[in-house]
Amino acid sequence: MNIVAATKIINQMLAAKVIENYALGGALAVTFYTEPIATQDVDIFFQIKDAGNSLRILSPIYDYLTRSGYEAKAEHIIIEDLPIQFLPVFTANISKVSANEHRRRNENYQPNARGKGH
C-alpha cells in the first residue's frame, strides 16, 4: 500500500476544490498515538463547502476519481492499490481539530497509558 502516492491524489482533490478539507482516520491515524498496527484500508474524513441534505454527497469524489482512472470497490475507492473510504464530516471543523493536534504534539502530549505518545 502506498499512502504517500494516495495522499498526493487526495491533495489534488483538495486543490481542485472537490473537497474543502480532510483528515486521516481509522487505524492509520491511531498509529500517531500507539504502536503501529496492520490495516487493510485508510479512512479519510472530509468536508465539502455545501453538503446540504444530499444523499449524493460522495458523488463529486467518486466522479473525480473514476474520471482519473480509479476504481470503486464496495465502500472504497482504490487509489494507488490502497482501499480508501471517504467519510463526510458535518459537525466538526477539521482545521480546528488538526490545529489542536499540532498544538498537543508540540507540548509533548502523551495520550496513551504507556506514555509513548508524541
Say if residue 15 is exposed, middle or buried (CB neighbours under 10 Å; 0-12, 13-18, 19+).
exposed
**Which residue intervals of 1-118 are DSSP H helices?**
3-15, 26-30, 59-67, 94-106
pLDDT value of position 30: 74
Report if residue 111 sits inside a domain.
Answer: no
Report if residue 17 sits inside a domain.
Answer: yes
pLDDT value of position 97: 55
Report if residue 29 sits inside a domain.
Answer: yes
Report if residue 79 sits inside a domain.
Answer: yes
pLDDT value of position 56: 81
Q: Could you give the percent of the chain with pLDDT greater than 70?
A: 71
Report if residue 116 sits inside a domain.
Answer: no
Residue type at 64? Answer: Y
pLDDT value of position 93: 63
70-76: average pLDDT? 93
Confidence of residue 67 (pLDDT cuts 50, 70, 90): very high
Report if residue 71 sits inside a domain.
Answer: yes
Structural domain that includes position 60: 3-91
Please write the tens of the pLDDT for every residue from 9-61: 999 999 999 998 898 888 777 777 777 777 788 899 888 776 666 778 888 99
pLDDT value of position 91: 65
Q: Supply the CATH number for residue 34's domain.
A: 3.30.460
